[in-house]
Amino acid sequence: MNMIIGILLLITYFGFIYYAVKGGNIMVGYFIMAILWTIIGLIPFNTAIVDVFSKPVEGYGATAVVIIFGSWFGRVLVDTGIAENISKKTLKIAGNKPVIAAILVCIATTFIFTSAFGVGSVIAIGVIILPILFSLGIPRNIAVSAFTIAIGAGMYVNIVLFKQMQLFFPSVKYDANYLKFGIAAAAVQVIVLIVMLLFNSRKIVKGEKEVLEKTEEKELKSVPAISYIVPIIPILMTILFKWQPIPSLLLATLLGLLLTGKLKTWKGSLEIINATIKQAVSDIAGLLMMLFALTMFSAAAAKDAQNFTSILSSVVPHSTVIIAIAIAILCPIALFRGPLNVWGAGSATAAILAAMNIFPAKFLFPLLYIPAIMAISTCPTQSWNLWSINYSKIEIKKFLKTGFAWCWIAAAINEVLAVIMFG
């Protein structure tokens, strides 16, 4: 009986992959899969009501709060001008040397997105950085690919994204142990990105300089240089003092407001706090609903684990080295919300592997996080990548050809890191 149920579950799994790759609504897909796997897996009705559709969502509340605080912090970085100042000051240091400018601005972008999150933050930074890069003669496809890969590098230590991934592996904590890997993985992606820019240096140097429109030459509202450290405060508080995410984010948010002079008056303080909170929650409302649906799906997968084990235990490698090599080779199928992208069809892959208990969670987490971040960095279906492509008026094919292979290399190296550190 378990074999038949397992086969039916796998059929729906591949159906979900097809649905996700074709661009179906992921939130709806998660909810439908939760229902299907509850029915096919013969989960008792009362058990399903409590353990699939109720408790998991309620239990995710604490994580949702961290995501909200993280989104608020990111919005404060943008609205106070901290992120803009870091970006433009970095470009000024480079002067008229386009290759150096591209490298420095990518490092600055990664630095900003270790804490900032969401398409709103990306747009706010992108409309500042991209036109300036174009004006330095950097070809649009190279500038856009470098920008999105730099954002992806920052996501390795971004607590908002980490908390989303933690849904599959609740035992993995955002602490110094993980951050050693996260910082190393981010560094690997940045180094590969720098190599990409150096490889394309001739195209960058010979590129045609574009004239900035007047609307793109807006005056920079200066903020104190001390405020430039604000983006890494949550990470420092976690590593040095083992603070939990919410107080770390709250401290960084308040310092960001204080150091930029936004708390000088009571009225002004209330206005900026209310405005940033409202926008921050709006930025992630859809994301939270998708994650709540994902908790239901993940809970159903955990209940159905025994049905998968009978079929997949002989197929899935039991060696950490072999599965890491396999994932490194198969990384491209994370694109277009495929079966290695946990924010697409890969959510089912993660749920199944987590439920099978073949590998420890501390290893599975980075193993599957890496291809997902590769997709975040280079996949056109990622919201901010699509915005960057449309804003820059480049072809999707050209965007993929420019950056994907480099990001795949970074992902493969990071899979090796994951084995060394957690395997």
Higher per-residue confidence, 207 vs 58: 58
Give the integer Cα–Cα distance in Å for 111 and 87.
10
pLDDT above 70 covers a percentage of the chain that reads: 96
Give the integer Cα–Cα distance in Å for 131 and 143.
9
Q: Which amino acid is at 22?
A: K
Any residues with CB less than 8 A from the CB of 159 and at least 6 apart, and which?
A: 66, 70, 115, 174, 234, 245, 248, 249
pLDDT above 90 covers a percentage of the chain that reads: 53
Range of 36's domain?
A: 2-422
Give the orientation angle of helix 233-241 with respect to helix 245-259, to 10 degrees.
140
Identify the sign of the CA torsion 80, 245, 167, 353: positive
The reported pTM is 0.86
Using the predicted structure, report yes or no on whether residue 293 has a pLDDT greater than 60.
yes
Using the predicted structure, report yes or no on whether residue 421 has a pLDDT greater than 70.
yes
From 77-81, 122-126, 215-219, 381-385, the region with the lowest mean pLDDT: 215-219
From 15-24, 210-219, 377-386, the region with the lowest mean pLDDT: 210-219
Using the predicted structure, report yes or no on whether residue 396 has a pLDDT greater than 80.
yes
Q: What is the pLDDT of residues 306-326, one digit of tens each?
A: 776 666 667 788 899 999 999
Residue 217's pLDDT is what?
52
Using the predicted structure, report yes or no on whether residue 253 has a pLDDT greater than 90.
yes
Q: Average pLDDT for residues 230-245, to the nearest whole number?
A: 89
Q: Average pLDDT for residues 78-105, to the nearest whole number?
A: 85
Alpha carbon dihedral 108, 364, 30, 114, in 10-degree steps, equals -10
Find out whether 164 and 291 touch, Cβ atoms under 8 Å: yes
Using the predicted structure, report yes or no on whether residue 423 has a pLDDT greater than 90.
no
Q: What is the pLDDT of residues 120-132, one digit of tens each?
A: 888 888 888 888 8
Q: Which of 31, 36, 20, 28 is nearest to 56 (CA)?
A: 31
Q: Is 242 left (phi over 0), alpha (psi -120 to 50) or beta?
A: left
Q: Is 23 left (phi over 0), alpha (psi -120 to 50) or beta?
A: left
Q: What share of the chain is helix, strand, coil (3-state, %, to 5)?
A: 75, 0, 25
Q: Which of 193, 165, 168, 183 is nearest to 369 (CA)?
A: 165
Q: Please give the angle made by the CA atoms of 13, 67 and 368, to the nearest 5 degrees.
A: 40
Q: What is the pLDDT of residues 255-278, one digit of tens each?
A: 999 999 999 999 999 999 999 999
> Which residue blocks in 41-175 are alpha helix, DSSP H?
45-51, 55-59, 61-79, 82-94, 98-112, 119-135, 140-154, 159-165
Give the integer Cα–Cα distance in Å for 234 and 230.
8
Lookup result for tokens 């920079």? 220
Q: What is the DSSP letter of 404?
A: H
Mean pLDDT of the chain: 89
Residue 218's pLDDT is what?
56
What is the number of other CB atoms lying within 10 angstroms of the CB of residue 11? 12
Any residues with CB less than 8 A from the CB of 421 and at least 6 apart, and which?
A: 180, 181, 184, 366
pLDDT bracket for residue 328 (50, 70, 90): very high
pLDDT bracket for residue 213 (50, 70, 90): low
pLDDT bracket for residue 379 (50, 70, 90): very high
Give the integer Cα–Cα distance in Å for 165 and 172.
10
Q: Average pLDDT for residues 281-285, to the nearest whole number?
A: 88
Residue 270 in tokens: 């209330």
Q: What is the pLDDT of residues 40-66, one digit of tens each?
A: 999 999 999 999 999 999 988 888 898
Q: Domain total for the chain?
A: 1
Residue 215's pLDDT is what?
46
Residue 310's pLDDT is what?
66
From 63-77, 213-227, 242-256, 337-351, the region with the lowest mean pLDDT: 213-227
Give the orientation angle of helix 346-356 with respect to helix 305-312, to 10 degrees.
90
Using the predicted structure, report yes or no on whether residue 378 has a pLDDT greater than 90.
yes
Q: Which of 193, 201, 224, 250 is nearest to 76 (CA)?
A: 250
Find out whether 21 and 348 touch, Cβ atoms under 8 Å: no
Q: What is the pLDDT of residues 9-46, one digit of tens each?
A: 889 988 988 888 787 888 899 899 999 999 999 999 99
Any residues with CB less than 8 A from the CB of 375 and at least 6 apart, and which?
A: 334, 335, 337, 338, 340, 341, 343, 344, 382
Q: Average pLDDT for residues 164-182, to the nearest whole number?
A: 92
The radius of gyration of the chain's CA atoms, rounded to the nearest angstrom, is: 22
Identify the sign of the CA torsion 341, 72, 190, 169: negative
